[in-house]
Structure 1
Amino acid sequence: MYQLNDFAQRTDLDNALANNVAELLSNALSQKGKASLAVSGGSTPKGFFTALSTKDIDWQNVTVTLADERWVEFESEASNTRLVHENLLKNKAAAARFFHLKKAGECNQATLAQLNTDAKNNLLPLDVLILGMGEDGHTASLFPCSEQISSALALDNTDALMKVVPQTAPNDRITFTYAHLAQSKNIILHVCGAGKKVVLEKALSSNNQTEMPIRAFLQNPDINTQVYWAE
């Protein structure tokens, strides 16, 4: 299921979302002494990242990662790892740890096996997950056009991370699988603009998850997805 949080201005959304996430992370820190946050890339979250980076929480015990990443070098303009370092891991949040999805070399079975072990031992389940959504209804790198979409959405997939090769977008990807994203304690979808509102409405009009993978989060009765939207 979902709950829509509608904002008139993107700056209002950024500040409200930053306050909410800071509170959720602080609660996790109080309960267990550590917290984990997975974010998504693109231009939409930049303002939210900056607002969150100024929050006065115990950042040195927070681990930040990405819901997915393109298999590109850090220097690439397509690198979401670079985006997060430049826009979130600054100010007070510079003290946070970062769990890298992109490793040196190829995205092969050995690399994936090690990443899965590290994620399961040190990161999961996520305390806070911030998702984005593409025009095709993909989220993270759960692309409807990929040959891997069925396994990526399968609830019985024991892999936390897997390689995805989208047919309609550049670069190979590494993504957390739906089975493990769905276990996150707090799930938020962050979208902006009239176009994304249309996509959101389409996603809510049917339940075919393979066609629009974001439906797996919006229509699962066991998941409370908070949708943050602004024009």
Structure 2
Amino acid sequence: MAYSFYEFENVDSCQLALSKAIKEIIQKEGFNSLALSGGKSPLGFFHYLREEDLKWQDMHICLVDERIVGFDDKNSNTYFIRNEFLQKKASNAHFISLLEDVNLSDEENLKLANEKYKQPEIAVLGMGNDGHFASLFANSLGFDEALNTNKNIVFIEPKNAPFKRLSMSLKAIEACKRLFLLIQGKEKKEVFDKACVKFDANLPISFILHSKKVSCDVYYSK
């Protein structure tokens, strides 16, 4: 299996441990680029990491995926990252949003996202109850391309989730030097266990867990 599994009794201890692990890697390896996922699940992790003593002025922060909505929309991952992570000590970090301008066409936003893309050394993924990660939803418009393209950023339109999105492709995620997956709760653990058994296109996270290109550190809290 292409992952290591770390289990914690509660969310707080899990997210603190993840923050410490990423701080140590950044300091040891001299990494300066980090891709983060949106959503409420990693909130505690964001709050811990933004307080760490790192050379934030040298850090480049980007998103694993983004919904095509305005930056002031609370559904925007950019809005979330700016308000919950790029604060305190992390306020000096350099942030590049995947989305250029919600008023541009989807094609133009995709083109610009690929042009300004900088490969992150570290990425922190989340996972939905349906097994999706980033915005790679099974059976969504753009899903097959996301798995097979050489492009770094792809356009995704989910069938069972709101908003069109821009997302790192599987190729871009597998190009990270260190990859982390943060999950919590019994339901997601059951999905994770099922995805560990074999590749399953209906459980996109299985492509990471069985990857031959990158190993993933999984941080799970009960």
With the shorter chain as reference, the TM-score category is over 0.9
Q: Distance in 2 between matches of 1:163 and 1:5?
A: 32
The 8 Å contact of residues 54 and 91 in structure 1, kept in 2 or not, is answered as yes
Distance 1:19 1:107 in 2: 40
* SS at 2:136 equivalent: coil
RMSD of aligned C-alpha atoms?
1.3
Task: Say whether 1:130 aligns with 2:142.
Answer: no
Q: Please point out which of 176, 197, 210 is paired with 1:205.
A: 197
| C-alpha displacement of 1:18 | 0.4
Aligned residues: 220
Q: Deviations over 1:16-59 (max 9, x none)?
A: 10011112222343xxxx61100111111000000000000100
What secondary structure does 1:197 align onto? helix
Q: Give the aligned residue type for 1:221.
A: K
Counting only pairs closer than 5 Å after superposition, residues 23-62 of structure 1 correspond to structure 2 as 23-29=24-30, 35-62=32-59
Partner SS state of residue 81, structure 1: helix
When structure 1 is superposed on structure 2, of 17-26 and 39-48 the one drifting more is 17-26
Counterpart residue identity of residue 149, structure 1: F
Matches for 1:161-172 after TM superposition, within 5 Å? 161-172=153-164
Aligned to 1:68: 65
Q: How does 1:59-208 map to 2 (within 5 A)?
A: 59-104=56-101, 105-119=103-117, 123-124=118-119, 126-154=120-148, 157-208=149-200
Q: TM-score, normalised by structure 1?
A: 0.91
Task: Give unpaired runs (5+ residues) of structure 2.
Answer: none
Between the two proteins, what is the percent identity of the paired residues?
Answer: 30
- Superposed CA deviations along residues 120-166 of structure 1, whole A, max 9, x for unmatched, are xxx21x21100011111110011103031111011xx2211111000
CA contact (8 A) 1:25 1:127 kept: no
Task: Give the superposition deviation at 1:206.
Answer: 2.5
**Runs of 4+ residues deviating >6 angstroms:** none
Q: Which amino acid aligns with 2:109?
A: T
Name the CA distance, whole Å, in 2 between partners of 1:49 and 1:74. Answer: 19
